[in-house]
Amino acid sequence: MSIPSILLPVFVQVALIFALGFWMIFARDSRLNGGVDAGRADLAGDSFKNQFEIPVLFFALIPLAILTHKADYLFIVMEWIFVLSRLAHAAIHTTTNRQPARGAFWFVGVLTLLLMWLIFAIRILFPPTLSPL
Q: What are the chain's domains?
A: 3-125 (1.20.120.550)
Give the DSSP per-residue string, 29-91: HHHHTTSS-HHHHHHHHHHHHHTTSTHHHHHHHHHHHHHTT---HHHHHHHHHHHHHHHHHHH
Alpha carbon distance 48, 88 (integer Å):
14
Examine the pLDDT at 77 and tell me if it is beyond 90.
yes
Q: How confident is the model at residue 131 (pLDDT cuts 50, 70, 90)?
A: low
Rounded to two decimals, what is the model's pTM? 0.90
Closest by CA position to 26, among listed 14, 16, 40:
40
Helix (H) or strand (E) holding 26: helix 3-32
Q: Which residue has the higher pLDDT, 119 or 35?
A: 119
pLDDT tens-digit series, residues 103-121? 999 999 999 999 999 999 9
pLDDT tens-digit series, residues 82-105? 999 999 999 999 989 899 999 999
Examine the pLDDT at 38 and tell me if it is beyond 70.
no
